[in-house]
Structure formats: structure tokens, C-alpha cells
């Protein structure tokens, strides 16, 4: 295995609410190796973005990453870094791509200037040199007429082009890792495929590790080496991609897989998980999926789900599997 | 863009013509020239004096139709108060004051200087202080610094300006003897002594509302996605606020302030009259109390002109601040 790049241990991020602080992300642990793509999958509201922002230490106030967590990036705990060092990590060593290309660029600045800023924040490059590099980056991410596009304002570009600008900005400093938070969700289907292809090319070329956040398992299939499935602020299952698609063991993962049109077996009806994700204040103390689980046991809602290793690298958090393992 | 501005100026001109008609009705039909004349020469003056005064001021003509001219003569419709009113105003020949015989345009020229000396520094310093304080406050949003600042703003806003004036005059003029309580001397070496206190009072008076407004704009802006992007590429808080947030916040702020710029010229009614500054604010107040309808009419007309100008300037400044807006 390649060297370890990111090692998140017991991430816990909370927001204040009427009933005290509520952890919207709890006890999340995962690892990403150099050049590896880990997909973080789960329904909207389950805490994927907050997990990503926690790594960048950009959780919006009054949210807070609990200090019991550790986020090792290349051996250093990001939660221990002082502000200037953390700033060097952001954009310098970890690049980030966001879901909403429409709003994630500054509307009153040219797209070129925004990429130039990303370069000049991290190294002393002359305006001309930074401009040349930006144009080259634009070319690399597939923006036609990069020279002219440099001086365009965001509103003059399509959603797909804007997302390419954001990607150019994220890879400008050749970071070791990219965090892509639903990079294709807001785009047309054809554009989605192009952006996915681009991310794969860049990943191979730059050998970056990628944390790919998505609620769409189809995207995962194209890009991910490993998959971590989240539900209501916790991990429920993590496994290599192939293993997860073939041998998903957690009832939530199985439900997700059955809901994908392309993956359901012939003759099988597309299946949807009943109900919706409850809001953080209503999460059960035990297994959080218990309120919607088709194979719920008596104690599921009261006791946290145990960690079960199904096979090397395949972990599942489920009471029902525990019984099976013992039997 | 140029076509748009020309069209806007055209509309503005029509608006001004409308305001002039409204003024005519107000000052000549509602308050007719006889009332003005009686107030000017006194109730008991003999009829000759009264008629003579009206003739001198040009108030002796009929309102709309002059029957002294024949049916086919042009003068029947042009030799009237209405036409005189429009020609005077549009050519800026405002004529004489009703209260005395001074030329109104000369008064305005004399008053503009002191007014501008008061309002321009007040406007600029008020904006600079409000922007800095609110940037600072929104930097510490949701902390006790922010909440304290908001409470102070509310307090400052709920105190009437009269209290600031009286308090300022008492404290700085009477107790500390730093500046004169009121008065004016255009000598550039000492004029600041008369201006500092009113500027300070104006500043304190406007600050609460301004800081609250700017803070709302800034805080709203800091929650936008592009701010998160800027942070994610490694920008520090100062750069985020000073570069990205400030530039975007400029757009809502511009509408608020550009429209006020032309009115710097007309001065401040309250501050000028309380501090005895002989500017256009004082001129207007004196006209109100002195039944000087000619001056008052002129000042209202100038106000309308400035308002229309402010609107056009606002539109233009929008296009400069926001690349998404193209005027068509
Ligand atoms: N600024 C915030 N204040 C309070 N709660 C928040 C905030 N942002 C997100 N949350 C809560 O955190 C949970 C996870 O949000 P998020 O990470 O954005 O979900 P996802 O990206 O998986 O759709 C949600 O339930 C949401 O209610
Ligand atoms: Mg999200």
C-alpha cells in the first residue's frame, strides 16, 4: 500500500442547538493513501460537507470540531496547527472543489484573477508568471480560449466552465490531496461525465489522493477506490469499491444500492428506503439507522452499533451482523 | 450605456418639469401672490405700495392666461406667471428674494461654500468610520464584541440629535473650551474651529444607523459561498474581509450613499441652524421663517434637480461596482 496521506480519527463536529451542543458528525474515522480516491457517500444532511469542512478547519461558526478528534495529514495533526500553518495547508497541500459552481466564485472578480490569487497566496510569483500559469491551468482543465477566458467574470461562463475554473484553482499548487464536495451534483448529465473524466485524469497525473463526496453512487463507481457510507452523522460501512458493490452488508448500504437504476438486477423492482433522515436532534442513541431499518432488532435503538470486520478492509456497523458473526 | 444615460437624463428632465409644475401650483395657486405681497409689505400698507411691490417682483401677471393680450397674440399665453416661473427656473435666473432685494443666486453661491465645508468632511469621515467599525464588528460576529457594538448602536440611534448638539456644545464649548459653541469665519486658518464640533455631532448621530446597516451587509456577505472558496484557497481573514467581502458589499452600500452625494451641496438644516453656519441649510430655514417664498421655491427646485442627479449617479456607480450589471 502507498504511504498514508490523511488519517481522520474519531472526528466529531458539533453545533449548538436549543438542547445544547449536538454533534452532527460523530466518531468518523477513515484514511486516504497517496493517490487513492475515497468516496464518502450518504443522503443529503448526513454530515458529508461538515466532515470535509472539518478537515479544512472551515466549519462555519458557531460549529466546532471537538479537540478529542485527530486529523493527521502527512503525519501532522491539522487540529494542532496554528493559523498561518493551517492557511498554508489550505490550497497549498489540500485543494477543495465545491458543489455550487454558480456561487463559489467571487462575482466581481475575473476568474483569472481568482486563480492568480490562489497561486500568489502560496508563493511569490510575479503577476505575469502567475497569469501564464493560470492560462496553462485553464488549458489543462479543458477551458477553451483560456487567454480570453482569463478576463471573464463568473457570470459570463457556463456552470461546467465555472466548475473547471474551481478545479484549476484547487490544483494550482499541485496539492497532495483534493476534497471534492459533490463536484458534479449541480451540473447537467453530459457535463457531469466530463468533469468526472477530468478529475480522474488529474488524479492519475498528479497522483493526488481524493476525498470525493457524493450522494450519487453512480459517480462513485467511476472514480472511487474505496467507499465510506455515512448515515446521520456516523459511518455505517466502509469497503473497497468492488467489495461494497458486490457484498454490501449494512441494510442502509443495501438499500442505497437497490435504489440505483443501473445496478438493480434484472426483474428486480427499484427500491427506495422508507422514510427520511431525521434531523440531528432526533437521532437515536443507538444505531441511527434503526428508525428506518427493515431488519431492526429489539436493542438496535438503544445501543450503538458494533464495528464488524466482514473481510480485510470491509467494516460494517450493525447489530444484526454481530449476531450473524457469532452464530 | 451612453444611450441609457441619455435616456435617463431625458426622464430626469421630465421629472423636473413635473416638480416645477407642482411647485407652481403650491406657490402661486395655493399661496397666491397677493398673500405673499401682503406678508412682505404688511397688512396695513396702502394699495399703491402693495401693487408696486408685486410689479417689482414680477408677481403682477395672471397665472395662466393674460387677457390684456388679444386672442391671436402670443403674449396671451406666454406673458403669464406660469411661463415666467418655468423660464426663470430652467435658466437659473432665480431673481430676488421676497424678504429683501438680494439676488437669490448670489445667496446660493455664498452659502454653498460653508455647506460643503460642513457636509463633505462629515460624509467622508462618517463613511470611513462606519465602514471600519462595521468591518471590525462583523469580523467578530456572534461574539460579545459584536453584541456590545449592536447595543451601543441602538443606544446611539435612540438618542435625538438635539441631545448631541446641546451635549456637545456644553461639553466641548463650555466645559473644555476647545471650540466655539457656534458661529463661522471663512478664514481658512480658523474655519476648522467652527466646523469640528458640528462634524463630530453629525458623525456620532449618524454612526449607529450606518454601522448597523454596514454590519448587516458585511455579515450577509461573509456567509456567501465565494467567501468559503477564498478561505479554502488559503486566504486569511483580513484578506477575505478587505478584498472579497468589501468589494461585494460595495454594491448594496453604493445605492445607499451615492444618492446622498448631491445633497452634500444643500447642507444640513439642523446642524447649520444650531451652529450658526451660514450655509444653504440656514438659507432654507431663514426662507421658511421669513416668508421668503422665492428663495424657498428655488431651494426645493434645486433639491429636485439634485435628487434626479443622484439617481442617475447611482445607476452609473452600479455598473462600475458590479460587472453583472449592464445598463441597456
Ligand atoms: N451552519 C450550520 N449550523 C447548524 N447546523 C448545521 C450547519 N451546517 C450544517 N448543519 C447541520 O449539519 C448536518 C450535516 O450537514 P451537511 O454536512 O451539510 O450535510 P451533507 O453535506 O451530507 O448534505 C445537517 O443536519 C445540518 O442540519
Ligand atoms: Mg453537502
- The pLDDT tens digits of the residues spanning A77-120 come to 999 999 999 999 999 999 999 988 889 999 999 999 999 999 99
**Digit-coded pLDDT (tens) for A23-39:** 999 999 999 999 999 99
| pLDDT recorded at residue A30 | 95
- Are B40 and B291 within 8 A, CB to CB? yes
B-chain residues near A98 (CB < 8 A): 225, 228-229, 232
Arithmetic mean of pLDDT, A33-55? 94
pTM of full prediction above 0.90 = no
B193: phi > 0 → left, psi -120 to 50 → alpha, else beta; which? Answer: alpha
Q: Give how far B223 is from chain A: nearest CA, Å.
A: 9
- Can you give the pLDDT at residue B71? 67
**B248 contact A CB<8A:** yes
What pLDDT is attached to residue B269?
80
Give the distance from CA A271 to its chain's centroid. 25
What is the pLDDT, as a whole number, of residue A266?
54
pLDDT tens-digit readout, A208-223? 999 999 988 878 888 8
Question: Can you give the pLDDT at residue B315?
Answer: 84
Task: Check residue B327 and give its pLDDT.
Answer: 66
- A157 in reach of chain B (CB within 8 A): no
* Pair A77, A118: CB distance under 8 Å: no
Question: What's the pLDDT score for residue B62?
Answer: 72
User: Measuring CA to CA, how many Å separate B100 from each of A25, B53, B97, B139?
Assistant: 80, 11, 6, 56
Mean pLDDT, residues A218-235 taken together = 91
Instruction: Give residue B69's pLDDT.
Output: 66
pLDDT tens digits for B274-324? 878 888 888 888 888 877 888 888 888 988 898 888 888 888 888 888 888
Give per-residue pLDDT as tens, B3-48: 888 888 898 889 888 888 888 888 777 777 777 777 777 777 777 7
Q: What is the pLDDT of residues B46-70, one digit of tens each?
A: 777 777 777 777 777 777 766 676 6
CA A105, CA A102: separation in Å to the nearest integer?
A: 7
pLDDT above 70: residue B328: no
What percentage of chain B exceeds 90 in pLDDT?
A: 6
pLDDT category at B259 given cuts 50, 70, 90 is confident
Mean pLDDT of B241-261: 85
Per-residue confidence (pLDDT) for residue A108, from 0 to 100: 92
Terminal CA-CA length for chain A? 33
pLDDT by residue (tens digit) across B214-239?
998 998 998 899 999 999 999 998 89
Residues near B163 by Cβ (< 8 Å), separated by ≥ 6?
Answer: none
Q: What is the per-residue pLDDT for A58?
A: 95
Residue B166 half-sphere exposure, CB side, CA atoms within 13 Å?
Answer: 5
CA distance A34 to A4: 6
Average pLDDT over residues A271-296: 85
Q: Whose CA is nearest to atom 1 of ligand 1?
A: A60
Tell me, what's the ipTM? 0.91
pLDDT in tens, B143-166: 888 888 888 888 888 888 888 888
pLDDT the model gives residue A269: 59
Phi, psi angle pair for B74, to nearest 5°? -65, -35
pLDDT tens sequence across B73-98: 666 667 777 877 888 888 888 877 77
Task: Say whether B83 sits in a helix, a strand or coil.
Answer: helix
The answer, yes or no, to whether any atom of ligand 1 lies below 6 A from the CB of A46, is yes
Q: What is the pLDDT of residue B79?
A: 74
Going by C-alpha positions, the residue among A289, A304, A222 that lies closest to residue A250 is: A289
How large a percentage of chain B has pLDDT more than 70?
Answer: 95
Q: What are the DSSP calls for A173-231, one per residue?
A: T--SEEEEESTTTTS-HHHHHHHHHHHHHHHHHHT-EEEEEES-HHHHHHH-SEEEEEE
Q: Is A50 in the pocket of ligand 1 (CB under 6 A)?
A: yes
Model pLDDT, residue A271: 66
Is the CB of A62 inside a 6 Å radius of any atom of ligand 1?
Answer: no
pLDDT of B134 strictly over 80: yes
Give the pLDDT confidence score for residue A270 in this predicted structure.
Answer: 59
List, in sequence order, every residue forming a beta bridge with A6; answer none if it has no partner. A32, A73
pLDDT surpasses 80 at A274: no
At residue A263, the pLDDT reads 59
Residues A190-216 have a mean pLDDT of 91
Which residues on B lie below 8 Å from A58 (Cβ)?
Answer: 228, 231-232
Give the pLDDT confidence score for residue A75 in this predicted structure: 92
What 3-state DSSP class applies to B283?
Answer: helix
The pLDDT value given to residue A52: 96
d(CA B224, CA A58): 13
Is the pLDDT confidence value at A123 over 80?
Answer: yes
Q: What does the pLDDT look like over A298-325, one tens digit per residue? A: 888 899 899 999 999 999 999 988 866 6
Cis amide leading into A62 (omega within 30):
yes
Asked if the C-beta of A38 comes within 8 angstroms of chain B's C-beta atoms, the answer is no
**A264 — pLDDT class (breaks 50, 70, 90):** low
CA of A239 from ligand 1 middle (Å) equals 25
Mutation for testing the B interface, residue in A83, A107, A179 having most B CBs under 10 Å: A107
pLDDT of A200 reads 92
Q: Is the CB of A49 under 6 A from ligand 1?
A: yes
Secondary structure letter of residue A260 according to DSSP: -
Distance CA A90, CA A92 (A): 5
Query: Nearest to residue B36, comparing CAs of B296, B291, B272, B310?
Result: B291
Query: What is the pLDDT, as a whole number, of residue B170?
Result: 80
Q: Is the pLDDT of residue A140 over 80?
A: yes
Number of A–B residue contacts, CB under 8 Å: 80
CA B226/CA B243 separation, integer angstroms: 12
Task: For residue B287, report the distance from its CA to the centre of ligand 2, in Å.
Answer: 64
Amino acid at each position: 500500500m502507498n504511504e498514508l496521506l490523511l488519517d481522520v480519527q474519531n472526528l466529531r463536529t458539533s453545533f449548538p442547538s436549543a438542547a445544547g451542543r449536538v454533534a452532527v458528525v460523530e466518531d468518523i474515522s477513515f484514511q486516504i493513501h497517496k493517490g487513492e480516491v475515497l468516496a464518502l457517500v450518504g443522503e443529503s444532511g448526513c454530515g458529508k460537507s461538515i466532515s470535509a469542512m472539518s478537515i479544512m478547519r472551515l466549519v462555519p461558526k458557531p460549529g466546532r470540531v471537538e479537540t478529542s478528534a485527530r486529523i493527521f495529514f502527512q503525519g501532522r495533526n491539522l487540529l494542532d496547527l496554528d493559523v498561518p500553518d493551517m492557511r498554508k495547508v489550505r490550497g497549498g497541500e489540500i485543494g477543495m472543489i465545491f458543489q455550487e459552481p454558480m456561487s463559489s466564485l467571487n462575482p466581481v472578480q475575473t476568474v483569472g484573477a481568482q486563480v492568480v490569487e490562489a497561486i500568489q497566496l502560496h508563493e511569490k510569483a510575479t503577476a505575469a508568471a502567475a497569469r501564464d500559469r493560470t492560462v496553462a491551468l485553464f488549458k489543462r482543465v479543458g477551458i477553451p480560449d483560456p487567454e480570453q477566458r482569463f478576463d471573464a467574470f463568473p457570470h459570463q461562463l457556463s456552470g461546467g466552465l465555472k466548475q473547471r475554473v474551481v478545479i484549476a484553482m484547487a490544483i494550482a499548487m499541485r496539492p497532495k490531496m483534493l476534497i471534492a464536495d459533490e463536484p458534479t451534483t449541480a451540473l447537467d448529465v453530459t457535463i457531469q461525465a466530463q468533469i468526472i473524466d477530468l478529475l480522474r485524469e488529474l488524479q492519475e497525473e498528479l497522483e493526488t489522493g481524493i476525498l470525493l463526496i457524493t450522494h450519487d453512487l453512480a459517480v462513485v463507481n467511476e472514480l472511487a477506490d474505496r467507499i465510506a457510507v455515512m448515515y446521520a452523522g456516523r459511518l455505517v460501512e466502509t469497503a473497497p469499491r468492488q467489495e461494497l458493490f458486490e457484498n454490501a452488508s449494512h441494510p442502509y448500504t443495501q438499500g442505497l444500492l437497490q435504489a440505483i437504476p443501473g445496478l438493480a438486477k434484472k426483474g428486480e423492482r427499484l427500491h427506495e428506503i422508507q422514510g427520511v433522515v431525521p434531523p440531528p436532534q432526533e437521532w437515536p442513541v443507538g444505531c441511527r439507522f434503526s428508525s428506518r431499518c427493515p431488519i431492526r432488532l429489539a436493542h438496535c435503538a438503544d445501543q450503538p452499533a458494533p464495528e464488524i470486520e466482514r473481510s480485510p478492509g470491509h467494516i460494517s456497523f450493525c447489530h444484526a451482523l454481530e449476531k450473524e458473526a457469532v452464530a | 450605456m451612453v444611450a441609457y444615460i441619455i435616456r435617463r437624463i431625458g426622464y430626469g428632465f421630465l421629472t423636473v418639469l413635473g416638480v416645477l409644475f407642482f411647485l407652481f401650483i403650491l406657490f402661486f395657486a395655493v399661496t397666491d401672490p397677493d398673500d405673499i405681497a401682503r406678508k412682505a409689505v404688511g397688512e396695513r400698507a396702502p394699495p399703491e405700495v402693495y401693487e408696486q411691490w408685486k410689479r417689482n417682483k414680477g408677481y403682477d401677471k395672471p397665472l395662466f392666461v393674460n387677457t390684456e393680450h388679444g386672442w391671436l397674440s402670443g403674449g396671451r399665453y406666454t406673458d403669464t406667471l406660469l411661463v415666467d416661473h418655468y423660464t426663470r427656473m430652467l435658466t437659473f435666473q432665480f431673481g430676488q428674494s421676497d424678504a429683501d432685494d438680494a439676488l437669490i443666486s448670489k445667496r446660493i453661491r455664498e452659502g454653498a461654500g460653508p455647506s460643503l465645508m460642513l457636509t463633505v468632511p462629515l460624509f467622508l469621515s462618517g463613511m470611513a468610520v462606519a465602514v471600519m467599525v462595521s468591518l471590525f464588528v462583523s469580523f467578530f460576529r456572534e461574539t460579545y464584541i459584536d453584541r456590545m457594538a449592536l447595543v451601543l448602536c441602538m443606544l446611539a440611534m435612540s438618542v435625538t440629535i438635539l441631545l448631541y448638539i446641546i451635549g456637545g456644545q456644553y461639553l466641548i464649548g463650555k466645559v473644555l473650551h476647545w471650540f466655539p459653541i457656534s458661529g463661522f469665519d471663512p478664514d481658512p486658518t480658523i474655519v476648522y474651529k467652527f466646523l469640528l464640533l458640528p462634524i463630530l455631532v453629525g458623525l456620532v448621530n449618524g454612526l449607529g444607523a450606518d454601522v448597523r446597516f454596514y454590519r448587516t451587509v458585511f455579515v450577509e456577505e461573509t456567509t456567501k459561498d465565494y467567501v468559503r472558496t477564498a478561505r479554502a484557497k488559503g486566504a486569511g481573514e483580513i484578506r477575505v474581509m478587505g478584498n472579497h467581502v468589501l468589494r461585494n458589499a460595495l454594491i448594496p452600500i453604493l445605492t445607499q450613499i451615492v444618492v446622498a452625494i448631491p445633497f452634500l451641496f444643500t447642507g444640513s438644516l439642523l446642524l447649520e441652524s444650531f451652529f450658526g453656519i451660514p450655509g444653504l441649510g440656514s438659507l432654507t430655514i431663514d426662507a421658511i421663517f421669513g416668508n421668503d417664498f422665492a428663495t424657498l421655491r428655488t431651494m426645493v427646485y434645486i433639491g429636485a434637480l439634485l435628487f434626479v442627479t443622484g439617481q442617475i449617479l447611482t445607476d452609473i456607480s452600479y455598473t462600475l461596482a458590479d460587472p453583472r450589471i449592464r445598463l441597456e
